[in-house]
Amino acid sequence: MTSPSDKALVPFVSVDNMMGLVHALGIETVLTELASFIEADFKRWPEFDKTPRVASHSTDGVIELMPTADAENYGFKYVNGHPKNMKEGFQTVTAFGVLSSVANGYPILLTEMTLLTALRTAATSALVGKYLMPKGAKVMAMIGNGAQCEFQAKAFQAICGIDTVRLYDIDPVATAKAARNLAQSGLTIVPCTTGEEAIEGAQIITTCTADKQYATILTDNMVGPGVHINAIGGDCPGKTELHRDILLRSEIFVEYPPQTRIEGEIQALDATHPVTELWQVMRGEVAGRTDARQITLFDSVGFAIEDFSALRYVHSKIGGTSFFDLLDMLADPDEPRDLFGMLNRAAP
């Protein structure tokens, strides 16, 4: 049996590789650089193929494919969302992704994306916060202290300059976990016992809960003028976090309207309700926050271009490092038409 050629080998970033890369670079650097890659791709939004993610829903959760491509590369992410998993000892969200060359269709990267999704989601939230949050905002309320919580806190610290995070979760064990993980972050951490307590004095409110239901994490009377809401938990049909009246009082910003109207907070509104696309804000074509008393709402569901940016980022960083393996995953016969002959030559 012959050894695989270089053409058959694909860089693979495992969970261990990803953790090593993040530690080698520093999580603040990773979040900041990821945000820069995402911003650069949002600014060239018209260059991408775009479609709502392909979703397979069940009573237990959802499995999704998130594809996109530009003129050079094609990328997709496989991701699930199963809120019940935590009770059974599994992750609520797991993911992997592939980046391929458009020129020949060959994969150039296969990577875990459970950690990478957490990083890119946080980087996207903070990037959007940079455009929409009140000037000089320093305090963020974090309602929902699960797997995404600490990533959000670190991203808003690194990119937006917040210095205080007020934590609340219906499970005090989750709040204690988040407070412990952020104890050495340089942030002032304030554990709270109610959502109302958590939002006191906060200029940014991040909601990140996992139940697949129409929930009301924020009621209308909890949200005063001038705040920025980073709503990242409502991300599939039948799953929301905000009272409808909050949406009616807010300027709503989205990634890709055809997907957000299916999965985001705005599924509670008429399909013609106006929203602003973030790529236009980042390109300076439309305004972001225009008034100090305005309520801005990022109705975040996650979009494939953000994953594409994350795949590009990892691919750019692993060269010259030891934070990847090589997988023999592509058939490479000596003569391209002789696939059967390659199989026969490998017979014992």
Residue 121 lies in a domain: no
Percentage above 90 pLDDT, the chain: 83
The yes-or-no verdict on residue 213 having pLDDT over 60 is no
- Each residue's pLDDT tens digit, 18-50: 999 999 999 999 999 999 999 999 999 999 999
Q: What does the pLDDT read at residue 188?
A: 98
Q: Which pLDDT belongs to residue 255?
A: 98
pLDDT score, position 241: 85
**Residue range 207-220: mean pLDDT, rounded:** 76
**Which two structure tokens, joined as six digits, stand for 160?**
């937006």
Q: What is the mean pLDDT of the chain?
A: 94
Question: How far does the chain reach from its first CA to its final CA, in angstroms?
Answer: 9
In this model, does residue 233 exceed pLDDT 80? no
Banded pLDDT at 1 (limits 50, 70, 90): very low
Catalytic status, residue 235: yes
Whether 1 is covered by a domain: the verdict is no
Could you list the residue range(s) of the whole structural domain that residue 276 is in? 127-302
One domain, residues 141 and 161: yes
> Are residues 187 and 50 part of one domain?
no
- Of the residues 235, 245, 307, 325, only one is catalytic, namely 235
The candidate with the shortest Cα–Cα distance to 41, out of 295, 307, 226, is 307
- Whole-structure pTM value: 0.94
Q: Buried b vs exposed e over 140-166: b needs ≥16 C-beta within 10 Å?
A: bbbbbbbbbbbbbbbbbbbbbebebbb
Cβ contact 281:233 at 8 Å = no
- In this structure, the answer to whether residues 190 and 288 fall within a common structural domain is yes
Same domain, 192 and 284: yes
When pLDDT is averaged across residues 63-77 and rounded to a whole number, the result is: 97
pLDDT band at 325 (very low <50, low <70, confident <90, very high): very high
**Both 100 and 249 in a single domain?**
no
